Amino acid sequence: MIKTVQIIVSGRVQGVCYRASTQKIAKAHNIQGWVKNLPDGCVEIRACAEAQQLEHLISWCHAGPIFARVDGVTVTDVDTVDLAPGFIII
């Protein structure tokens, strides 16, 4: 079943290649969507895929890339919308 989630990651997640690493993981699992930095220092991810594929991404988000320090991950189901193919960095 295809679903879409919004993931908010807090901690030291900007300036540590979090967005580029998220894109790499998402592409490896055929996840569509995007990732962007937020003004408050968090990273927001919008991801659409089969639930099992999303679980890989969500699990990875709790650790992130090597220089990140993840303090929190909030996952919210959102309405599935048509996203452009692929996974982009905004």
19 tagged catalytic = yes
What is the pTM (predicted TM-score) of this model? 0.94
Task: Report yes or no on 29 lying in a domain.
Answer: yes
Is residue 87 assigned to a domain? no
pLDDT tens digit at each of 90 positions of the chain: 889 999 999 999 999 999 999 999 999 999 999 999 999 999 999 999 999 999 999 999 999 999 999 999 999 999 877 777 899 999
Is residue 88 assigned to a domain? no
Let me know if residue 26 belongs to a domain. Answer: yes
Mark out the alpha helices in the chain (DSSP H runs).
Answer: 18-28, 51-61
Give me the number of domains the chain comprises. Answer: 1
Non-local (6+) Cβ contacts of 12 within 8 A are 67, 68, 69
Active site (annotated) includes residue 12: no
Integer Cα distance of 28 and 42 in angstroms:
23
Q: How far apart are CA 75 and CA 52, in angstroms?
A: 14
Q: Catalytic: which of 19, 30, 46, 69?
A: 19
